[in-house]
Amino acid sequence: MLKTKPGQQLAFLPDADVESLAECLVAFANGDGGMVVLGLDEHGQPGETIWEEEAEGALLEAARLCSPPVPSQWQSVDVAGGTFVGIRVGRSKELHSLRDGRVLVRSGSQNRILSGGEVRDLSAGKNSADFEREVVPGARHSDLDQEMISEYLSKREARGSAQVTSIPELLFEIGATDREGNPTTLGILLFALNPQAFFPQSGLVFVRFSGKDPRGEGGTVGYGRRDELRGPLARIIERAWNIIYEEMKVGASVNKLEREEMTEYPRFAVREALVNAVAHRDYQITGRRIEIRMYADRMEIISPGSLPGYMTLDNLVEEHFSRSPRLVNGLYQWGYIEELGLGIDMMIEEMVQAGHAPPEFKVTPHSFMVSLSNKRERAALPTWTRSMNERQTRALSYVRENGSITNREYRQLCVDVSGETLRLDLADLVERGALLKIGSKKGTYYILK
């Protein structure tokens, strides 16, 4: 975790400031949880030494500012600069606020105050998470596939999670069974031999259309392939990906005498959209399954259920809130989710890097759709550009399309960013060897080096 910068589930506090700590506790508890590390600045560099007694006192004071109190756990965090105090906060079933009435959630690396409407949506979204741990009527422990459980355990251990001493205890701990071993909704979806016997809506439908719309010539059925996928969720993800890969056009390019495979859609973007649909759909909605529609010019992945909690199209990239947090964690342990909370922006980046338009997102009261275009608007960007920020990617794309860029043109591309930040962006691109600076003062412009 500490190899990354502060973000959706990680906060660094350079000192034991009580109010800042309370804000982080509330924000993490209202979201999908996270960790606060005391004694590190925003760049992960050690600051003043914070003794355990000081940290404990600050945590007690911070707890008094939270309503209701936020459960947390201590743990030591070892980094190159020494050992620091870490405070682990889990996702809470309750809605937490500060004593002054503010309700906060995590937004990127910051804590954001929710509006009244967002607070109501968050409260409703927290209640839906209980569906995961509901015991499924008629389900027995014998309905669970021991092979799937063994596979999950091996994947979990490969991720570095703690070794399991008792499988029944682990299944209860992750929410797959109750204390008596009866399967819950989560247990059936992840491990059952036939989850669709209990949740018919948990399957997936893939349809390949020959044209750009569902209708064929003369009003006939326009699809050439249709598959209905069943089984536990991990198998559905695998089978869906295999079908998509079979149907994608695959080409190749030669770079420095090495052959590189080029798929019709970027692999990561497709897999991320697929996994998100499986992980975040509303499994309480019956009568509709996840749909993948592959057209001649685009791919649509449609997930039943609107965005959960306070999530909107406007905060989709910066923020993260799971309708089914235990299911998301299960797929994370399985290896289908690379890093919690970073999928959407990486999907956008992959599409842009490959020369495509960014994904289009559409939300309705009962569904969420991701649309990926197979049209390349520009040549793919070199792989070394992956370490650039989104603004620099836009600047480089602008230069490739227009031949050059000035500071003024860059400010027009990023109207809400300070001029000094943009100047540093361009200076960084020059230092990397991506751009060449021409001229000086007001006559300065930049071209591809």
- Mean pLDDT computed over 85-113: 93
For residue 411, the enclosing domain spans 383-448
User: pLDDT exceeding 90 applies to what percent of the chain?
Assistant: 56
pTM of the model: 0.78
Is the pLDDT confidence value at 253 over 60? no
pLDDT at 68: 95
b/e map 243-279, b = 16+ CB within 10 Å: bbeebeeeeeeeeeeeeeeebbbbebbbbbbbbbbbb
344 vs 72, 257, 337, 361, 366, CA distance in Å? 28, 33, 11, 10, 20
Radius of gyration of the chain (CA): 24
Q: For residues 23 and 124, state if they share a domain.
A: no
Q: For residues 319 and 361, state if they share a domain.
A: yes
Q: Which two tokens stand for residue 329?
A: 């964690």
For residue 297, give the nearest of 224, 371, 368 by alpha carbon.
371
- Mean pLDDT computed over 258-273: 84
Is the pLDDT confidence value at 442 over 80? no
pLDDT at 443: 81
pLDDT at 383: 61
Of 361, 380, 399, which one is at a domain's C-terminal end?
380
pLDDT at 184: 97
Q: Which two tokens stand for residue 364?
A: 């309705």
Q: pLDDT grade, residue 375 (50/70/90)?
A: very high
- Domain assignment present for residue 143? The answer is yes
Is the pLDDT confidence value at 1 over 90? no
Q: For residues 80 and 222, state if they share a domain.
A: no
Output 224 or 99, whichever has higher pLDDT. 99
CB atoms inside a 10 Å sphere around CB 170: 18
pLDDT at 164: 77
- Domain assignment present for residue 406? The answer is yes
| CATH, residue 429 | 1.10.10.10
- Mean pLDDT computed over 148-172: 89
pLDDT tens-digit profile of 348-372? 888 988 889 999 999 999 999 999 9
Output 70 or 108, whichever has higher pLDDT. 70
Output 217 or 147, whichever has higher pLDDT. 147
Q: For residues 214 and 191, state if they share a domain.
A: yes
pLDDT at 341: 62
Q: pLDDT grade, residue 402 (50/70/90)?
A: confident
- Taking the CA atoms of 405, 406, 409 and 414 in sequence, report the sign of the dihedral they define: positive
pLDDT at 98: 97
DSSP letter for each residue of 215-283? B-GGG-B-EEEEEEE-SSHHHHHHHHHHHHHHHS-EEEEEETTEEEEEESS-HHHHHHHHHHHHHHS-T
Query: How many structural domains is the chain composed of?
Result: 3
Is the pLDDT confidence value at 273 over 80? yes
Of 380, 406, 434, which one is at a domain's C-terminal end?
380
Is the pLDDT confidence value at 220 over 80? no
Output 400 or 99, whichever has higher pLDDT. 99
Q: Which two tokens stand for residue 317?
A: 């990239």
176-185, 281-290, 336-345: least confident range: 336-345
- Mean pLDDT computed over 406-430: 89
Torsion of CA 168, 172, 175, 180, to 10 degrees: 100
DSSP letter for each residue of 383-406? GGGGGS-HHHHHHHHHHHHHS-EE
pLDDT at 345: 80
Is the pLDDT confidence value at 193 over 90? yes
Is the pLDDT confidence value at 260 over 70? no
| CATH, residue 154 | 3.30.565.60
> Cβ(96)–Cβ(26) under 8 Å?
yes
Query: In degrees rounded to 5, what are phi and psi of residue 89?
Result: -120, 125
pLDDT at 396: 86
Is the pLDDT confidence value at 179 over 80? yes
pLDDT at 219: 65
CB atoms inside a 10 Å sphere around CB 24: 25
Of 113, 137, 153, which one is at a domain's C-terminal end?
113
- Mean pLDDT computed over 429-444: 84
> Cβ(325)–Cβ(351) under 8 Å?
no
50-64, 115-129, 208-222, 309-323: least confident range: 208-222
